[in-house]
Each structure stands twice: as C-alpha cells, then as structure tokens.
Structure 1
Amino acid sequence: MSEQILERRVGIRGWLLQPNPRGRTQATAQQLYKNWQRFCGYPLGLVGLAIIVLLIVVAICAPLLTSYDPIAQNMANRLAAPSWEHLLGTDEFGRDVFSRIVYGARTTLYIIMLVAVIVAPIGLLIGTCAGYFGGWVDEILMRVTDVFLSFPGLVLALGFAAALGPGITNAIIAISLTAWPPIARLARAETLSLRKADFIAAVRLQGASAWSIILRHILPMCVPSVIVRITLNMASVILTAAGLGFLGLGAVPPSPEWGAMASSGREFMIESPWVIAAPGIAIALVSLAFNLFGDALRDVLDARGSE
C-alpha cells in the first residue's frame, strides 16, 4: 500500500513523521482544526454533539438544576401531574421525575465512559495482534470473536448480567463483554492493510520487535477508526443498559436509572403517561445524538480520502 493511500485512510501519518514534538503538536492542531471545519458542515452532527455536551453538563451540574432528592419518597404527592413545582410530575412513590432524569444522566454517562474505556483497549489489542501475527494466533482470536458475534448483543448481555446479578458494575461488565468484538474486527482489518506497508517493513528491518511495532506504530494508526466505531456503538450501549435496567438487571432501586424508571412507569402509562414518557424520551434522544454525531464523524474522516 502506498504512503499516499495510508495517509488518506488514517490521517495521522503526517503527525507520526514529524521530526520533533513541537512539529507534532502543530500538525495535530492543524489537523484538528481542519476536521472541525469539516464537521461544522454537518448540521445533524452538530445537533448530536450539542445533545451530548448537554448530557455532560446536566450530569455534572445535577445538584444545581434541581432541589429535589431523586430518591426521597413523598407518598402524599404520588403520580402528580407536571406542574411548575414538578416540571415532569412525580412517580408512584412521589419522587420528582425531573430530578430522577437529571441524576439518571450521571448513571448513563458513567456507563458510557466505563464501557468505552474497557472495550477500546481490549478490541484494539485483540484485533491488532490477530492481524499482525496471523496464522494460528489470528485463527484462535477470530474464532473466539465469532462466538461472541454469533449471539445478539442484548441477548448475550442479558445472559452475563443474569449470571453476575443486578447492579451497575455487573451491567457494565456484561455490556463490555458483548461490545468488544466489532472493535476487534475493525482493528484486525486495519492491521492487515498496514502490516505490509513500507514504513512497517523499514521499522522491522531496524530491529524493532513485534510488540513494539504493534504498540508504537500499528495501534495508534487504528485509533481514529476505532473512535468512530465506539461512538456509533454508544447508542446500542445506551439501549442495552436501558434494557438491562428495564428487566431489573441494571441499577438497583431506588437509584435513578432511565431503564429502571421506564420499567416501573409502564404500570401507570395510561393514567400517568409522564412517568414512562420522560425516561423513554431521554433514552431515545441520547441514543439518536450519538448516532448523529458518529455518522458525521465518520463522514469527516472519510472526507480526507477525497482531498
């Protein structure tokens, strides 16, 4: 594969070839600015980014946005309709729905961040090792990956969560165990196109070990594609986490979690629809935001190949 094609596919080769740290910093800043300019050409992507930023702000500033305790019960005010006092009404235990939505954003953000931190290194390491070493290493790692991919992600996550028991930590582990195979497949495909490149051959001739080549040269060049993939996968992560919470395998009550709120509110969806509508809209909105942002980010990175 020629150097030009490599530069178009991964977009960071120029950064890697900078002769000094200052040059690398300038190249990185220029590349980020160009990518941001391209990203601004996608209005839906900007909408998705705005919603994600709003989610982060709401999670951080939750105590400033509501004065109600999300777990404090008030049975005298149960199932109250939306009003100025309770913007989204109250649930079956008299808890303010708006405060539970706001604090539930923290739970959602916590799940998203931990899943991304766990899944990205695992998928990258397995995929790059399989693609670079090939042979029996590739065969074993990819067959294990195929086993995980052969089951629907939600079904597999339900199985792991049922075995581990309810709880946020166990839900994160269950989701992570089902979310790494697509990352590994993508990293393997990128590695297969990179391992025979001229600059990899040059590094190998200089005496670099296989692990050094993987960690210092191949793995960093797979990161942009993996970031896009993880961003696109966040919608399914949110839906899976909500599904686990809906079935009682996520956050333990009375912790505010959107899936669990939707589960408890389904009994009152006719006479008090706000109890289930609020968490349902929150789940759908954040999932859509990550999809819009991921699609725009993918188009921005692909646009480099058309220059």
Structure 2
Amino acid sequence: MAIPISPSRPTPPGIRGWLLAPEPKGTLHASLQQFYQGWLKFREHPLGVVGLVVILILIITAAAAPLLTQYDPIAQNMAIRLSPPSWDHILGTDNFGRDVFARIIYGARTTLDIIILVTIIVAPIGLLIGTCSGYFGGIVDEVLMRITDIFLSFPGLVLALGFAAALGPGITNAIIAISLTAWPPIARLARAETLSLRQMDYIAAVRLQGASSAAVIMRHILPMCVPSVIVRVTLNMAGIILTAAGLGFLGLGAQPPWPEWGAMAATGREFMLDSPWVIAAPGIAIAVVSLAFNLVGDALRDVLDPRGGE
C-alpha cells in the first residue's frame, strides 16, 4: 500500500513564514501581527526610518503638487528670469522665469512614475528568468545566465544610454531603456536563491506528489525569493533615479518643458556660477531621494532577509 508523502516544510523566519505557511484561522490577524513585528524591527534602524520619511514626503509631495504651489511648472515669465530665492519664489526661478520649487515638486511625479513603472517591469522579468534558470539548470541555465552576463558586462548607465539613443528621446523610451538594464541583478539573485531552495526536502516531496515544474516554481520557489528581491529592488531604486537623471541630463529622458530633475540640472549648469539655485535644487533632490531609498533598502534587508546580514 502506497503511503502518501506529506512535505515537511520548515517555517522560515520573518516574511518567509508568512508567505509559505498554510492559511490558519485568523490569517488576517496573523498577517497584521507579522507586519507589526517587521515594523518594530524596522524601527531599530533610525536611518532607515529617516529614509522612509523622506520617501513618504516624496509621495505626498507628488500627489499634492497642485496644492503646494500656485505656479505652473511650465509657464514662462521672462520678466523674472533667474530671480534669486524670495518669499514669492522659495527656490528662485530658472532661465525662463519658471518657479524652481514648482518644477521640483512636479518633477517628483516624473521620478515616481519612472520608479514605479521600471519596478513593475523588471521585478517579474528578473524573478522569472532567475527562478527558471536556477530550477531547471543545464542548458536553460547556461543560455539564460550567459544572456544575463552580457547585460551585466556593461555599466548600467552606459547600456541605458545606448538603448535610449537607439529608441530616441522621451520618457517612455527612457523607462524601456532603464528596464532593459535593471533586471539582470534581480535575475542573478533569484537564481542564487533557487539553487539553494530546490535542494530542500519539501521541494522534493512536492515533486513526488506529482506537482509540475511550473507549479513548483510559482507556488513554492517564487514566494521564497520575493523578500530578497524586494530588498534588491529597493536598493535598485536609487540607481534607477540616478540613471533617469543621467538620461534627462543628456537630453534622452523627459523632454522640455516638462519638469524632470536631470533635465533641470542640465539647464542649470549654464548658470552654475551666477545663479547656483537653478542647479542646486534638482541636484539636492536627486541626492536626497537616492540616499533615502538606499537607507530603506539597508533596513529592509535585515527585516525581510535576515540571512543578508550574516
């Protein structure tokens, strides 16, 4: 008489257990408790909290931009061209008389759009390629990883510049160019996670029960890779911001007169000595937001991926 095999699946720490454990009664309460425990651990990183506050301010600023300024970010007024900071114009005006503060907060919308769209594109692609490569191995692993190595062999900004130049200037093409260069690190990470996971006993038990490869990957391996990928994506956001700013600076991102921090910095470099506020404002915004995402990513590494600190 055949004895059905029941997988013995250890409950991993932190979010891993929440993702994989069977759903008991009161799942919502258990999930909220897990979230609260994660928040308590996140609070142990003061710099991470500071980064989170900056990101929340960025989101609120982007959402409430029309309420925070009375000025149109693209309306020109040459009569007040290159006016220094004042009560009427907190951060001064640029070479076309446009309010720099208004352009900064509307530029936050552009930055968030790029971050969100690139993340939506690269996270699934990197996860799928990495897990399939690590799970199937052999020729599949060789082909996928060699393609990944080709992308990784070039600096991200240089590769993004090449794609953006081929596709043409514009915010949509910039997002595509950044996405084409941002997925390889995620794929590498997902592959490394999958190589260790596929050797676990509960994966072997699931296979013996007749689960297909697609089911094993989607239901058992992908959820285990999610915490590490979340950390990696959060850290990648700083690079996405810098790459987008670099493309905008070189005229391959958002096109004038739409406000975008990199393009604003490119315009301000011509007036760096006489009107430093024109370039200082977008430069500081890029640096602060990039640092905030790095700080949050470092804190999330300890919360979602405890092995990362070992």
Shorter-chain TM-score: which interval?
Answer: over 0.9
The residue number in structure 1 matching 2:238 is 235
**1:178 pairs with one of 173, 181, 200:** 181
Aligned-partner SS, 1:12: helix
| Aligned-partner Cα distance in 2 for 1:85–1:219 | 52
Query: What amino acid maps onto 1:18 in structure 2?
Result: P
TM-score with structure 2 setting the length = 0.94
The residue number in structure 2 matching 1:257 is 260
Pairwise CA distance, 1:299: 2.0
Structure 1: stretches of 5+ with no match in the other structure: none
Pairwise CA distance, 1:154: 0.2
Query: Per-residue CA shift, 1:29-87, capped at 9, x if unaligned?
Result: 22211110011111100000000000000000000000000000001110001000000
Partners of 2:130 and 2:187 within 8 A in 1:
yes
**Structure 1 residues 304 and 126: CA distance shift in structure 2, 3 A:** closer
**2:17 pairs with one of 3, 10, 13:** 13
Partners of 2:50 and 2:292 within 8 A in 1:
yes
Structure 2: stretches of 5+ with no match in the other structure: 1-7
TM-score with structure 1 setting the length = 0.95
Correspondence 1:271 to 2:274? yes
Correspondence 1:139 to 2:142? yes
Correspondence 1:198 to 2:201? yes
Which residues of 2 match residues 1-307 of structure 1 at below 5 A? 7-8=12-13, 11-13=15-17, 15-20=19-24, 22-303=25-306
**Structure 1 residues 24 and 15: CA distance shift in structure 2, 3 A:** farther
- Once superposed, which parts of structure 1, at least 4 consecutive aligned residues long, lie more than 4 Å away? 302-306
**Structure 1 residues 23 and 141: CA distance shift in structure 2, 3 A:** farther
Query: Per-residue CA shift, 1:240-293, capped at 9, x if unaligned?
Result: 000000000000100000000000010000000000000000000000000111
| Aligned-partner Cα distance in 2 for 1:291–1:305 | 15
Aligned-partner SS, 2:259: coil
Query: What amino acid maps onto 1:7 in structure 2?
Result: P
Aligned-partner SS, 1:90: coil
| Aligned-partner Cα distance in 2 for 1:138–1:187 | 12
**Structure 1 residues 300 and 28: CA distance shift in structure 2, 3 A:** same
| Aligned-partner Cα distance in 1 for 2:105–2:303 | 32
**Structure 1 residues 305 and 115: CA distance shift in structure 2, 3 A:** closer
**Structure 1 residues 201 and 13: CA distance shift in structure 2, 3 A:** farther
| Aligned-partner Cα distance in 2 for 1:19–1:72 | 55
Partners of 2:171 and 2:254 within 8 A in 1:
yes
Partners of 1:16 and 1:24 within 8 A in 2:
no
Query: Per-residue CA shift, 1:210-246, capped at 9, x if unaligned?
Result: 0011011110110010000000011111000000000
| Aligned-partner Cα distance in 1 for 2:260–2:87 | 23
Partners of 1:15 and 1:24 within 8 A in 2:
no
| Aligned-partner Cα distance in 1 for 2:133–2:187 | 9
Partners of 1:52 and 1:289 within 8 A in 2:
yes
| Aligned-partner Cα distance in 1 for 2:308–2:146 | 32
- Cα RMSD (Å): 1.6
**Structure 1 residues 18 and 304: CA distance shift in structure 2, 3 A:** farther
Pairwise CA distance, 1:17: 2.5
Pairwise CA distance, 1:12: 1.9
Q: How many residues align?
A: 302
Identity %: 75
Pairwise CA distance, 1:3: 5.5
